[in-house]
Amino acid sequence: MIDRVAYAGIGALFGALIGAACWWLYGLAHSLQYEGPGIDPSLLHWVKPFGAVFALIGFILRDKAGDVVGHLFGAIFNFEADRDQTNLPVWLAVLVLAFIAALIWFQFYR
């Protein structure tokens, strides 16, 4: 159980980093591919859900959570570089994005 909690902490840390990257790119509209106004300028609205989701992923998947983090960083980089070379399985991407969307929705509309 201690190893699961440790992986959850590591997942939360990397989830927070991904949330900060998404906040910078899409929340403040600094993305090379996204053209339009910033989605949400509040850093905590990005960091908390991503941290929570990746803490859960770390708790469940343990050392395989690093693969999810790496694939997501790669997906963000490939999107910004305008390349379509992601290796993240579609079902996993849909599951993660649906979970993050649900967390954000419950945070704002409860």
Q: Where are the strands (E) in 5-105, listed by range?
A: none
Which of 8-17, 55-64, 71-80 reaches the highest mean pLDDT?
A: 8-17
Q: What is the CA radius of gyration of the chain?
A: 14
Q: How confident is the model at residue 14 (pLDDT cuts 50, 70, 90)?
A: very high
pLDDT at 55: 93
Range of the domain at 101: 2-108
Q: How many domains are contained in the chain?
A: 1
Sequence-distant (6+) residues with CB within 8 A of 40 are 23, 27, 46
For the chain, the farthest-separated pair of C-alpha atoms sits apart, in whole angstroms, at: 45
Check whether 81 has a pLDDT greater than 70. Answer: yes
pLDDT at 90 over 80: no
Residue 51 confidence (pLDDT) above 70:
yes
